[in-house]
Amino acid sequence: MTSPEHKWYIEYTSPATAHMFAVKDYICSVRTGFQQAEIVDTHFFGRCLVLDGKIQSAEYDEYIYHEALVQPAMLLHPNPRRVMIIGGGEGATLREVLRHACVERVVMVDIDAEVVTLCKQYLERWHQGSFNDPRLELIHMDARRYLEENALCFDVIISDLSEPVEEGPSRRLFTRQFYELVKARLFEGGILALQAGDFSKAYLDAHLVIFNTIKQVMPRVYSYHAFVPSFNTDWSYAIVSRDGDLGLIEPEVIDRRLRERKLSLSFYDAETHRGMFAVPRDNRDRRDTETRVIDDDHLFTIY
């Protein structure tokens, strides 16, 4: 039963399911050139960024999502000096990358300047001033076009894109052709990490197809996952090295590199790493028998 004294935000997770959030206040609602962007204050999860009707991150638990997305790739690379971020408008992905003093340059490419401006203004707890770091080059254009037009290479590329919803700005950034471009822009030993959709049994399709698409280009792909309370589900990620095995069975490397880089994280360490990369058998079975591939001529929509 819903409480009559609250206003409720309904997030549709499929045509037949939804989550509800009690709202304190609507901060802003803007139709940008690419998507509907809303920032709301909720009673339980604090401030939330919502794009096209889906919560992207919440004040209560964004550190879980962003540490899970960024830190495995950054710590599995022995010396990540040049990093590219695709999307990541809140600035929290950038924040996590810049924790590493070894990083010399970050190129962040987010197509939607209006969303980034909103996040700079209203989501300071996310970016914590990271947009002012001199190591950052912030570019507002289509990331695929950027990769096509620039020959820069990177040690780590992190893709923090919204899901491939119909008419959304990111659908062509999940295709086989896009991952071929990404591979060409990674240095030897370079690592790609990305958010890869819901990891629960009911909504696993996006992860299955994204994983299999990457596998056509860079075969040694790994799934991992973390429960994000504001998403009300286990959320998935994928990580892959341009040139082969990442050595993911050695989590002690994580704690050693955390000490060497003088990092103190809230969520991620070697013990967390073990759990994140332990994939349930039913999900593994479905993933490893998936045959669909996202192609420029056969785009994928989550529903």
Q: Among candidates 79, 139, 133, which has minimal Cα distance to 108?
A: 139
- Torsion region of 146: left, alpha or beta (phi above 0 gives left; psi -120 to 50 gives alpha): alpha
110, 160, 198, 269: which one is catalytic?
160
- Length reported for the chain: 303
In whole angstroms, give the CA distance from residue 199 to residue 202. 8
Q: Among candidates 77, 89, 90, which has minimal Cα distance to 47?
A: 90
In whole angstroms, give the CA distance from residue 20 to residue 25. 15
What residues contact residue 300 under an 8 Å CB cut-off, 6+ apart? Answer: 164, 171, 174, 206, 209, 210, 292, 294
What residues contact residue 81 under an 8 Å CB cut-off, 6+ apart? Answer: 102, 103, 104, 105, 155
**End-to-end Cα spacing for the chain:** 28
3-state DSSP assignment of residue 156 = strand
112 assigned to active site = no
Residue numbers annotated as active site:
160
